[in-house]
Amino acid sequence: MNTGVVEAPLGAVPDLAGLEPVEKIKRRWPMILGGGLTLLMILSLGRELFGSGLAGLTRNLPGNPLFYLTFLVYYLGPPTFDYVIFRRLWRIPLDGMAALHKKRISNEVLLGYSGEAYFYAWARQRTRMVAAPFGAVKDVMILSAIAGNAVTLAVMAIALPLCIELLTPTYQNYAYGSVAIIIAMSLPFLIFSKRVFSLPARMLGWVFGIHCVRIVAGSILIALAWHFAMPAVPIGVWLLMAAGRLLVWRLPLVPNKELAFSFIAGIVIGEGQALSELMALIAGLTLLCHIALIGGFSIQALLAKIRG
């Protein structure tokens, strides 16, 4: 037996070196996911712009500057309320607004809740700021849906007795069936709340309240924007239309929500075509804002990378 050869200790054998690329991928997956979703957002925004987006922008533009100011506040509302929530949860810096805007844009132009995946990836890249972001992102997402359902049910309790006769029997059945579905969708989260949610009960109540304020404020702002664009219609009617819009967009069984809302608006204000054109204009302006923000954020990220 050759005793001149000394075997290396087992711990000294570098047999794990081949796993280094895998570890790098694990560390970089939030950046890869975030970059991929950003690219998909850019492609989807470009497709929508050259599809129906430009058609909305060719409508007659309102001359009242208050319309554009109100629209801007309305547009900035959802990410701002999200920032208020995550500022308290995680103490995120002001540049977190960029991630929250991307979250909102991703949800609107890509698949629903893809923005939560993007924001989760953004938070994972900042583990010093927050150790376990999944629970908070999940709780805020669920509470947003529950708040939307709660506000919709409250509006329906007020509006249905007043305007149920305006609906055809088919849409009445859709409305009642949708109420049952909304309640059924919300009850499991409330019954099993201790297993579903990870945040403390007091914090859950605060987040739920912020979401409710966001939804109500958004409805009031869009009503004001409509009023400034079409001042001949009283603001009270526009507030009723905003409530109807909230109902139609949240009800799960209503087919062709755009057509249903235009039908209701045409009965109430008698200017369904004008409102449809106004909604197309607002959709076009929203798309334009999305493109401007995504372009600005991309340029900012590129400049930061060059300087770094």
Domain map of the chain by residue range? 31-45+65-302
Give per-residue pLDDT as tens, 172-197. Answer: 777 777 778 888 888 888 888 888 89
DSSP string of 210-254, one letter each residue: HHHHHHHHHHHHHHHHHHHHSTTS-HHHHHHHHHHHHHHHH-TT-
Q: What b/e string do you get for 181-217 counting C-beta neighbours within 10 Å, with b at 16 or more?
A: ebeeebeebeeeeeeebebeeebbebbbebbbebbbb
Task: Answer whether residue 222 shows pLDDT above 90.
Answer: yes
Q: State the sign of the Cα–Cα–Cα–Cα dihedral 28, 29, 32, 38.
A: negative
Q: State the sign of the Cα–Cα–Cα–Cα dihedral 209, 211, 212, 214.
A: positive
Confidence of residue 134 (pLDDT cuts 50, 70, 90): confident
Give per-residue pLDDT as tens, 263-279. Answer: 666 666 666 667 777 87
- CA–CA separation, 299 and 276 (whole Å): 35
Mean pLDDT of 188-209: 90
| 205 or 121: which leads in pLDDT | 205
| 191 or 37: which leads in pLDDT | 191
Structure tokens at 49: 């712009």
Task: Answer whether residue 13 shows pLDDT above 70.
Answer: no
Mean predicted lDDT score pLDDT of the chain: 77
Give per-residue pLDDT as tens, 39-86. Answer: 666 666 566 656 554 555 556 688 899 999 999 999 999 999 999 999
DSSP string of 5-26, one letter each residue: PPPPPGGG--TTGGGHHHHHHH
